[in-house]
Amino acid sequence: MGVLRRMKYMKDTVAAAPDIAALAQHLAAQAHQPGAAAGGFPFNAIADVSLDQFVAVSKGVAAYDYDQSRLTDVAAGHGIDSFTWEQAARGWNERIKANPAVAQRFNQLYQAG
């Protein structure tokens, strides 16, 4: 790597430092909030729906031949109203796509007993 390229890289890194520090502070604050799951932010409940509950509802739709339109019915059977389920499902699906550790844990829970 040439000297000029290294200088540009250092300049970009220094410019990004405040954003990185702010993100780190935000994540640290979330990890210390009441109800934070062991393991930190990626596993915190979304709309008060835990990953375990999300998996249970996701598995429960199998009884309806995986008819996705029945997810709100299955969620209701777990005490989750349709509005909350929609928020949680959207959030968990995004988190699973973005974080391999969450995807791995989802798969472990889904395949367990």
Q: Chunked in runs of 10, what are the mean pLDDT values of the chain (113 residues)?
A: 60 57 56 46 93 94 90 94 94 94 93 82
pLDDT at position 62 is: 87
Are 36 and 50 within 8 A, CB to CB? no
CB hemisphere CA count around 29 (13 angstroms): 6
Task: Tell me the whole-structure pTM to 2 decimals.
Answer: 0.64
pLDDT given at position 41 = 84
